[in-house]
Structure 1
């Protein structure tokens, strides 16, 4: 059965997302570990991904943990430094698919304000045929509802969608709905999958 659209996650597929790495360079690994043990920063970020105001959410969390207040505020002020760099080969694959006339969608857990800012730093984020941004949708992966919302909007049968994501739980939900999937562990493997599906030639999929 043919594939009618390819769906990309963004974080750690098209752009590296490594908050811990950034904090290690700024405050040291020991201080970072202590903060992450005391504060569930990823849960805080989940609220942003669900559509909560980015700055207010971070500031409210910082106010509850005075011992780490300055460091928590870095999540807002240094956010783009955590979401870097882009993964060039993945970006090339996305553009190669579009140049072949294959519709390419984004399905990503991303806040409203943070995504708008990311667009100014990574122009390729504006190039998708459709963009499904969790903050705008009010629902995040791996909840089945967000996958259902994509299906209803694009009107493509699940088995004709090929989805790549770096998280096992997101892949599992997509598979349960009948999507074709690829666990992203690096752009080379993703390139090979696109070639195997007949969507790109080996030359088109090369780095």
Structure 2
């Protein structure tokens, strides 16, 4: 069991995301407007991220619902190209890499995971991760946290957990994780808390 570890969410922690560019690109390549794209694809989010629908089935059904005329590659690009790096967090991860084990805990789909890992070098610093589409469960439910504990031998009391959503943080706190509710505008607060945490190398 590691002496300490850090457990990171992905969206709005390591990377920012905005679906507006995706909706715009889909609208250019389909019969639907931007608003219609968002309305028709939004209901798939939880099914996709929980693994209840496969990536291929999602693409096929979405193509039908919005009248998409592009190629599969164009669909994957439009769906994935919504992320931009959170530069201060990237720098922090690079500083911590090799000093303390780093893990990921994310509600995400296979499409987004593949896109993120291909586009952002920061993910090479992580020793592993639990992803909702593979785990078949999502935050804020206990089960996905418990999978992380079991998979990596984590002691919640010695694991610093970072997430941007209050419901996820509430579960982390209840399960005994050292939990930080993150916002990029308050990044300095995270760094100060990490410096004070006994698990961070001096």
Taking structure 1 as the reference length, the TM-score comes to 0.78
User: Structure 2: how far apart are the matches of 1:188 and 1:7?
Assistant: 18
Correspondence 1:167 to 2:173? no
User: Structure 2: how far apart are the matches of 1:192 and 1:179?
Assistant: 18
Q: CA RMSD in A?
A: 2.8
Checking the alignment, whether the CA contact within 8 Å between 2:50 and 2:136 is kept in structure 1 is yes
Q: 1:130 to 1:18 in 2, by over 3 A?
A: same
Q: 1:92 to 1:53 in 2, by over 3 A?
A: same
Residues 139-189 of structure 1 show CA distances to partners (whole Å, capped at 9, x for unaligned) of 221121001111122222222111111111111111121111111111333
Residue 53 of structure 1 and its aligned partner are, at CA, apart by 2.2
1:108 to 99, 106, 118: 106
User: Structure 1: how far apart are the matches of 2:107 and 2:75?
Assistant: 16
Residue 43 of structure 1 and its aligned partner are, at CA, apart by 3.5
What residue in structure 2 maps to residue 88 of structure 1?
87
What residue in structure 2 maps to residue 122 of structure 1?
120
Residues 35-88 of structure 1 show CA distances to partners (whole Å, capped at 9, x for unaligned) of 43x42x34312222223322321321342x3xx3339x8764412321x21112
User: Structure 1: how far apart are the matches of 2:19 and 2:3?
Assistant: 34
What residue in structure 2 maps to residue 48 of structure 1?
48
User: Structure 1: how far apart are the matches of 2:58 and 2:24?
Assistant: 23
Correspondence 1:32 to 2:34? yes
User: Structure 2: how far apart are the matches of 1:19 and 1:3?
Assistant: 38
Q: 1:21 to 1:196 in 2, by over 3 A?
A: farther
Bigger shift: 48-57 or 11-20? 48-57
Alignment length (residue pairs)? 191
What residue in structure 2 maps to residue 181 of structure 1?
179
Structure 2, unpaired ranges of 5+? none
Q: 1:70 to 1:184 in 2, by over 3 A?
A: same
What residue in structure 2 maps to residue 60 of structure 1?
61
